[in-house]
């Protein structure tokens, strides 16, 4: 039998199997459990339209494409989603992959369905946009659509889940890319929205495709442990159920498996072996009332001894996604550690379904019924408030930073609770209270003790922020802050600071250039200046200063625009230049060349660099010899201030304690060591050390070098 015939037979068999599982009839049977017949008829009509539009299209696995949207709809039907969502799920690829337009969908199934389908659809290829940029822009579009209708993300998550279930048909590279994206973005979104059932399967499937060997090893180990503990699980269920009944608490006790990816994450995070992961054996106690949760906790602790330090009350302090439960870890017979989660039936429903819980009643009056949706909308609003104006790639990175699965709960001095991501610092806390408090933060008291601003916070701590009126955000904070709000405010401040500094520097450069040409500075306020701004397409004179300060325009060339046309050529030939005095406080728009590391006292000149402003070099630097038209004459101001970086090369006899002696002398000379390198031996018994120091000026550096030369065994000290 020929191979193509075998392939066709295999494809037919696969299609029949998929049709039995994911065809329209099995879906209609499921919908009959909770939807009226007229709505089921609309879903069937959507299937007929989708099947016609996707006719002739096959998935990589070989079966007709329509079975994918039907499978997506089935996932949502199992969550008891409404008919509009199911219709949109069946049609979710028609705008992107067929000739049907958004207007066609709206005409046949209504505006709501069309908006949902359009929200899930990726943007098309745009010339000059990379795949990563297109992916990021599609992601922004998806989240923007979510702000209008949260059902968009439910369709997208169900779509991603079915794609992962059938990912084996893809090539290995694409499997890894989709799996990585799922673990980075879609599983954390499901976690943030509280959709536990989808989140767990997304994580395990993506982990299995990304690291198949690790997954197989862990799955085998977990299965073995759970298999060995079957009797223990039954004993715990039986014993807890009996004691709860005896106390008059109606409860359901169920043993559960921990998903493989969570086990893997815990092992990596805490550097544990599989046998040391405490909550492989887990139990849920489902009760009727909140009061019963705390009564049941007492029963659990009476029956099994609790492990100190392993209790969390997520009922009083619910997680950011609305998750509520009591968590405790106890010691069961044989020394096995078990995790017990205690919650009401309502809490359990919200924990499993998140924003999909009570969707049929989302327009009702009860706050409890719409709480998950309200929390999701608040989260989305904050995202767009913080990152809405960012470029697509920055937006995507910002959202990734914001998707933290773990939280800590800390207290303000007044006793109010603040929820922050794990690893958050006092700066994150300050910005969570108020942006102005974060901007002026200089120190923090944690439980009454002064601690560094980069100290990770722990649940239960009380935080007091100490401020100063003239304090400002520091660029170094970006290395350790965890919240999106803090990161965004710091970046915005630094950007505005750079713009302010660029304006000040640009004004100084242009005024110097005008004096060189003997043009009065008052010309900048004349009508001629307005005409110049209009010709350069600039809004105001400050924008002109900023472009000069950042190096986008050269001040001498701008100054010549104020001369009559016949005088410009002679001005260009003129060699007279006023120098710019460097004060050391110019900030982000003045940079110092790492090639020569200039310090006050050196002869210097400046290279105008687009985007960096002026880069200062020593006149003997090899970079100071190219393109003289780009150079600006510079001198050090008499009032120059600040610390400046320089490099020293020290050659000495290699002996015990040499480095300690050298660093002590540098410290005694009131200089700071930024970095030290010790390359291989210089030959014989000699060793070379390269130091990066901060000093005030050349005189200060000379004092440091003099002290180093007096050390016994030092052969040479030179500046590089």
Do the beta carbons of residue 159 and residue 92 sit within 8 Å?
A: yes
Residues annotated catalytic, as ranges: 96-97
Taking the CB of residue 452, how many other CB atoms lie within 10 A of it? Answer: 11
Do the beta carbons of residue 549 and residue 509 sit within 8 Å?
A: yes
Report how far residue 253's alpha carbon sits from residue 283's, in angstroms, rounded to the nearest whole number. 7
Phi, psi of 307 (to 5 degrees): -90, 120
Pairing of strands 590-592, 613-618: parallel
Report how far residue 187's alpha carbon sits from residue 204's, in angstroms, rounded to the nearest whole number. 10
Cβ neighbourhood burial of 587 (10 Å; 0-12, 13-18, 19+)? middle
* Enclosing H/E stretch for 257: strand 252-257
Report how far residue 230's alpha carbon sits from residue 386's, in angstroms, rounded to the nearest whole number. 49
37 CB-near residues (< 8 Å, 6+ apart): none
Tokens of 689: 């050390």
Q: Which residue has the tokens 């540098």?
A: 666
If you write DSSP's letter for every residue of 565-588 in order, what string do you get? Answer: HHHHHHHHH----PPEEE-S--GG
Taking the CB of residue 65, how many other CB atoms lie within 10 A of it? Answer: 19
Tokens of 487: 């990161």
Report how far residue 593's alpha carbon sits from residue 606's, in angstroms, rounded to the nearest whole number. 10
Report how far residue 273's alpha carbon sits from residue 37's, in angstroms, rounded to the nearest whole number. 54
Report how far residue 474's alpha carbon sits from residue 611's, in angstroms, rounded to the nearest whole number. 20
Tokens of 40: 């089921």
Do the beta carbons of residue 685 and residue 694 sit within 8 Å?
A: no
Pairing of strands 604-609, 613-618: antiparallel
If you write DSSP's letter for every residue of 303-370 in order, what string do you get? Answer: HSEEEEEEEEETTTS--TT----EEEEEEPGGG-EEEEEEEEHHHHHHHHHGGGTTGGGTTSS-HHHH
């Amino acid at each position: 039998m020929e191979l193509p015939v075998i392939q066709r037979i295999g494809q037919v068999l696969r299609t029949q199997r998929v049709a039995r599982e994911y065809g329209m009839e099995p879906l209609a049977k499921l919908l009959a459990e909770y939807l009226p017949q007229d709505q089921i008829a609309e879903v069937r009509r959507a299937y007929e339209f989708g099947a016609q539009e996707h006719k002739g299209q096959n998935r990589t696995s070989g079966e007709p494409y329509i079975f994918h949207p039907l499978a997506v709809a089935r996932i949502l039907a199992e969550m008891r989603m409404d008919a509009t969502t199911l219709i949109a799920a069946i049609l979710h690829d028609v705008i992107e992959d067929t000739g049907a337009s958004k207007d066609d969908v709206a005409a046949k199934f209504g505006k709501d369905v069309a908006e949902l389908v359009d929200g899930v659809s990726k943007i098309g290829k745009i010339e000059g946009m990379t795949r990563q940029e297109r992916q990021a822009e599609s992601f922004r579009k998806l989240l923007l659509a979510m702000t209008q209708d949260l059902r968009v993300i439910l369709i997208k998550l169900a779509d991603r889940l079915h794609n992962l279930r059938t990912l084996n048909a893809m090539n290995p590279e694409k499997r890894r890319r989709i799996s990585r994206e799922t673990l980075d973005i879609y599983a954390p979104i499901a976690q943030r929205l509280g959709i536990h059932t989808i989140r767990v399967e997304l994580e395990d499937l993506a982990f299995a495709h990304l690291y198949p060997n690790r997954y197989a090893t862990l799955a085998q180990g977990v299965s073995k442990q759970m298999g060995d503990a079957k009797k223990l699980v039954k004993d715990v269920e039986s014993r807890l159920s009996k004691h709860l009944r005896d106390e008059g608490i109606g409860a359901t006790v169920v043993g559960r498996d921990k998903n493989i990816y969570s086990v893997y994450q815990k092992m990596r995070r805490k550097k544990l072996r599989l046998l040391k992961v405490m909550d492989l054996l887990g139990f849920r106690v489902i009760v009727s009332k909140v009061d019963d949760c705390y009564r049941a906790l007492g029963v659990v602790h009476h029956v099994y001894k609790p492990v100190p330090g392993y209790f969390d009350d997520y009922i009083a302090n619910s997680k950011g996604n609305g998750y509520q439960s009591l968590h405790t870890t106890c010691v069961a017979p044989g020394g096995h550690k078990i995790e017990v989660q205690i919650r009401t039936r309502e809490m359990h429903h919200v924990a499993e379904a998140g924003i999909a819980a009570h969707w049929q009643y989302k327009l009702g009056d009860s706050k409890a019924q719409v709480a998950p949706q309200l929390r999701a909308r608040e989260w989305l609003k904050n995202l767009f408030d913080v990152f809405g104006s960012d470029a697509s790639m920055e937006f995507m990175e910002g959202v990734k930073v914001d998707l933290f699965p773990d939280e800590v709960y800390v207290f303000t001095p007044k006793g109010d609770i603040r929820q922050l991501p794990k690893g958050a610092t006092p700066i994150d806390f300050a910005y969570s209270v108020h942006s102005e408090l974060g901007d002026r933060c200089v120190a923090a008291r944690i439980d009454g003790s002064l601690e560094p601003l980069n100290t990770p916070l722990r649940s239960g701590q009380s935080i007091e922020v100490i401020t100063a009126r003239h304090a400002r955000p520091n660029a170094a904070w970006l290395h350790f802050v965890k919240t999106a709000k803090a990161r965004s405010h710091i970046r915005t401040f630094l950007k505005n600071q750079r713009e302010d500094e660029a304006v000040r520097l640009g004004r100084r450069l242009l005024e110097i250039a005008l004096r060189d040409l003997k043009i009065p500075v008052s010309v900048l306020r004349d009508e001629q200046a307005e005409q110049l701004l209009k010709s350069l397409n600039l809004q105001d004179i400050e924008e002109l200063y900023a472009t000069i300060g950042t190096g986008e325009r050269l001040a001498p060339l701008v100054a010549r625009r104020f001369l009559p046309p016949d005088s410009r050529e002679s001005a260009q030939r003129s060699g007279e230049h006023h120098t710019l005095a460097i004060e050391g406080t110019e900030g982000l728009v003045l940079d110092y060349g790492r090639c020569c590391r200039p310090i006050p006292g050196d002869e210097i000149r400046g290279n105008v660099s687009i985007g960096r402003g002026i880069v200062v070099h020593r006149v003997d630097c090899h970079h100071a010899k190219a393109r003289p038209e780009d150079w600006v004459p510079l001198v050090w101001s008499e009032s120059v201030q600040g610390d400046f970086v320089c490099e020293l090369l020290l050659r000495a006899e290699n002996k015990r304690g040499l480095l300690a002696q050298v660093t002590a002398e540098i410290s005694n000379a009131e200089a700071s060591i930024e970095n030290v390198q010790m390359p291989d031996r210089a030959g014989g018994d000699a060793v070379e050390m390269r130091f990066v120091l901060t000093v005030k000026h050349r005189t200060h550096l000379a004092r440091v070098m003099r002290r180093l030369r007096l050390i016994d065994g030092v052969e040479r000290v030179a500046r590089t």
